[in-house]
Structure 1
Amino acid sequence: MKRMFAGALVVAALGTLGCGGAKASGQGAEVGTARQSLEDLRAGLRAADQAMSDAAEKAGSAQAFSDFVADDAVLLVDGTYAPKGKEAIRAWLAAHPLEAEGKVRWAPVRWDVSADGTLGYSVGNVSVESGGTSVRPSSRYITAWKRQPDGQWRVAVAVLNAAKTAMTAPAGFAPSSTLPAPEPRALAPAQALEEAKAADRAFSSMSTSEGMGKAFAAYAAEDVVMPLGSAGIFGHDAIAKAYAPFTLEAIDLRWEPVLGDAAGSGDLAYTVGRAIATGKDEKGQPEVDHVKYLTVWRRQADGQWRYVTDGGNSSPGPQGP
């Protein structure tokens, strides 16, 4: 959730939720050659995600991230401010290897790209194989990808959080969007990013004025995927049900975007920022958590920006991410 693990109240309530039953619907935005081009771009992103996993299995997570992240990449991990830059990420993973208990590999349950093929994202499961036979889930991830001038996909931002179970998409839930696309347009990525940031700020404003639960339902895309609960949360209806208990009286969650990027096609963007969750502990006393987050946004057919995935983890203080 925004912001994943933002306070014990949120964790406890969402930790037992299932995946829900919503599924993507609607027709693809493109046909013929253009449709095939979009599918090729999606396949390329999926291949990059797989190649990074293969590299981690063979050479370890520190080397794999070093090979696949952008020079200015950001890694969101629990309990610390985000390592920023290729070398900082490599150093963190060298000290905290994902393969500490065995060979590591991962696979997405959802991935997609912008209309111009410059930006993409993937959401999935990380597993560890120990003893050559036992494979178990170890974490879940969200990755924002940026396609480089040479055509290679590189990780711009990644979120990693521990998990004991794997996300499992419900029957009929497509791995990439099948919803109608917005009208084509071309604009500067900075302009598209400002639109997404404005949506993120409005999202936060609704959370503080009407409650986190209402805000998360209002700003969720129909085919949203959240790496929460026992098997993940898939679809708008499942999000609305999962977040309904988080009223304004239960928790105050507010945030601000700090950085991000967007596609020049103006249909996909991501924001990275910091959040403050104020709730109550088991004794009813105020409890404050600082959180950092990644939200991936897709512009809908009606022109509105809605989040398609979102996650984060705790920070030691308010200076995040």
Structure 2
Amino acid sequence: MKKAIVFFTLLTVLHFDSFSQSITKVEKEKVINEIRDVEKKFQDDLKAYGAEYAFYHYAAENAVIKRGNDSLIMGNLAIKKFYSNPVYKDAIAEWSPDYVDVSDDGSMAYTYGKYKWRIIDENGKTGVYEGVFHTVWKKMSDGNWKYVWD
């Protein structure tokens, strides 16, 4: 009986330990650099292809963005529709994460930093909007990073 208890205790510990695997410091730095690269590609794609494309392309299917005081836009298709507004057609956004952190298992990450949007209104006047962004990234089953919160 004691052997059975020891066996099942050991089995339980090994089972739960397999779910709590953490990445090494070197691997974490590699993932942090991946996230910085994804943020840069996101910004480059926004400049090249527009906000509608970029915010849709980098969004997970169930992504959520917060815009305005209380507006939550849920799902990548709703996000694409939001950015299809003509006001974003020629908009330019610039940002760079001041901070990046990664979960211990390397499957989630978050960034924050400053952003600046330049938006041209219907009268041709350029408005500049600045603030702080916070993005939560999730590694998808295909190995790509998509944001789940912005």
Range into which the TM-score falls when normalised by the shorter chain: 0.7 to 0.9
Amino acid in structure 2 at the alignment position of 1:250: D
Identify the residue that residue 58 of structure 2 maps to in structure 1: 219
Q: Is the 8 A contact 1:201 1:257 kept in 2?
A: no
Query: What is the 5 A alignment of 1:277-292?
Result: 277-281=117-121, 283-292=123-132
Aligned partner of 1:209 in structure 2 is 48
Shift of 1:293: 0.6
Q: CA shift at 1:281, angstroms? A: 4.3
Q: Does the residue aligned with 1:266 lie in a helix, a strand or coil?
A: coil
Pick closer, same or farther for the CA change 1:283–1:247 going to 2, 3 Å. closer
Residue aligning to 1:259: 99
Report sequence identity in percent: 30
- Residue in 1 aligned with 2:35? 196
> 1:113-141: CA deviations, max 9, x gaps?
xx74xxxxxxxxxxxxxxxxxxxxxxxxx
Q: What is aligned with 1:271?
A: 111
Deviation at 1:205, TM superposition (A): 0.6
Among candidates 62, 69, 79, match of residue 239 of structure 1: 79
Give, in whole Å, the separation in 1 of the partners of 2:86 and 2:39.
19
Between Structure 1 and Structure 2, the one with more helix by share is 2
Partners of 1:277 and 1:260 lie apart in 2 by 21
Ranges in structure 1 where 5+ consecutive residues have no aligned partner? 1-32, 38-114, 117-183, 311-321
**Higher normalized strand content (fraction of residues):** 2
Q: Deviations over 1:101-121 (max 9, x none)?
A: xxxxxxxxxxxxxx74xxxxx
- Structure 1 residue 198: Cα displacement: 1.1
Query: Where does structure 2 lack aligned partners over 5 or more consecutive residues?
Result: 1-11
Q: Report the RMSD for the aligned CA atoms in angstroms.
A: 2.6
Highest RCO, 1 vs 2 (Cα 8 Å, sep ≥ 6)? 1
- Structure 1 residue aligned with 2:9: none
* Length-normalised TM-score, structure 1: 0.37
Q: How many residues align?
A: 131
> What secondary structure does 1:186 align onto?
coil
CA separation of 1:231 and 1:286: change in aligned 2, threshold 3 A: closer
Aligned partner (choices 306, 314, 318) of residue 146 of structure 2: 306
TM-score norm. by structure 2 comes to: 0.74
State the Cα distance separating 1:219 from its structure 2 match.
0.2
Quote how far apart the aligned CAs of 1:246 are.
Answer: 5.3
CA distance in 2 between partners of 1:194 and 1:223 (Å): 24
Deviation sequence 1:14-35 (CA, Å, 0-9, x none): xxxxxxxxxxxxxxxxxxx8xx
Structure 2 contact 112–133 (Cα < 8 Å) conserved: yes
Give the corresponding residue for 1:9.
none
SS of the counterpart of 1:302? coil
2:43 maps to amino acid: S
Cα pair 1:192 1:263 within 8 Å, conserved: no
Aligned counterparts of 2:139 and 2:90: Cα–Cα separation in 1: 30
1:141-152 counterparts in 2 under 5 A? Answer: none
TM-superposed deviation, 1:272? 0.9
Residue 186, structure 1, aligned to residue 23, structure 2 = yes
Alpha-carbon shift at residue 276 of structure 1 (Å):
1.6
Residue 253 (structure 1) shift: 1.4
